[in-house]
Amino acid sequence: MHTLRLTADRITAALGHLVLRLVLAMTRFLDWAERRARRLRFDDEGSETTEKAVLTAIGLAVAVGLGAAITAVVNKYQGQIH
């Protein structure tokens, strides 16, 4: 029982570490995208550019992928955590 508890604690810690790394990576990407969009808006004359649309699509894809990755990890280790 003690070994199972240690394993659950390790999995929980690893999962927390993974989620933290993913959140930090996402935050860094969004910060970069915001700065890039601000620079594009400054240079833009009012029309939407393809580059802005691509940045938005990439941001949405990363957000959806992050959600899917977290869901997959939680589902994988959910039985072991309980």
Q: What percent of the chain has pLDDT over 90?
A: 0
Predicted pLDDT at 43: 58
**What's the N-to-C CA distance of the chain in angstroms?**
13
Do residues 59 and 30 make contact, with C-beta atoms less than 8 angstroms apart?
Answer: yes
pLDDT digit string (tens) for 10-45? 888 888 888 888 888 888 888 888 888 777 766 555
Q: How high is the mean pLDDT of the chain? A: 78
User: Has residue 2 got a pLDDT over 70?
Assistant: no
Handedness of CA 33, 39, 45, 46 (dihedral sign): positive
Using DSSP, state whether 82 is helix, strand or coil: coil
User: Has residue 80 got a pLDDT over 80?
Assistant: no
Helices 50-81 and 2-43, packing angle to 10 deg: 170
Task: Dig out the tokens for 19 from the structure.
Answer: 């989620």
This prediction has a pTM of: 0.45
CA angle 24, 30, 33 (to 5 degrees): 145
